[in-house]
A and B are shown apart, each in its own frame.
Chain A
């Protein structure tokens, strides 16, 4: 069974810092990887989708990379803002559905 681990579990940074969130997975036979944002008590908002054949995807201040052979992905957030405070979830597409990590809870302080 695919296991997805996210490090760190929680992170607090001052506004303006660049930061990296890490995701690792145990089975490299994936078809895609998706990063989501979840605000408290809400659903999930898709941030970036990386196909297994791709190495990275970018959207605005966000950049996600994928190293399938080593089972790792990183989400890079540039020039963080208080509005970025949320939980960030990594989900790996393998088998019949997405497998999720527990998430990284991010707090960006003004």
Chain B
């Protein structure tokens, strides 16, 4: 079944640790996105990609980095986690062009202690 998967669902980690949030999709979508959502707040775009080897920063400044080596895989990395990184991170994908809708993963809830 075509879908988009995020792992882990929940992560509690200590300050200073390096973490990678995984996102994979089986729909063959060229475009992929990372959004950050704090409780009760709107989603903010932090990274997006139009295809392999393409990555751009979004509207919200983030200390995280992303890579797109394969079409189906779009991981997000924090080199040194801080409590201010505590949030929910949502991955999404869409087809090429502007008319298709977005499909979202279930999200990763990150807590940095």
Residues of A within 8 A of B (CB): 1, 4, 31-32, 34, 36, 41-46, 49, 51, 89, 91, 93, 96-98, 100-103
Contacts and interface: CB of A to CB of B under 8 A. Distances in A.
Most buried by B among A42, A44, A49, A103: A44
Given A36-B104, A43-B105, A97 B98 contact: no
Interface of B: 6, 33, 35, 40-45, 48, 56, 58-59, 88, 90, 92, 98-99, 101-107, 109
B85 to A, nearest CB: 18
B104 A32 contact: no
A27 B6 CA distance: 32
Given A43-B90, A44-B104, A103 B42 contact: yes
A103 B41 CA distance: 8
Contacts of A34: 101-102
Nearest to A95: B59
B42 A101 contact: yes
A102 B107 contact: no
Contacts of A93: 98
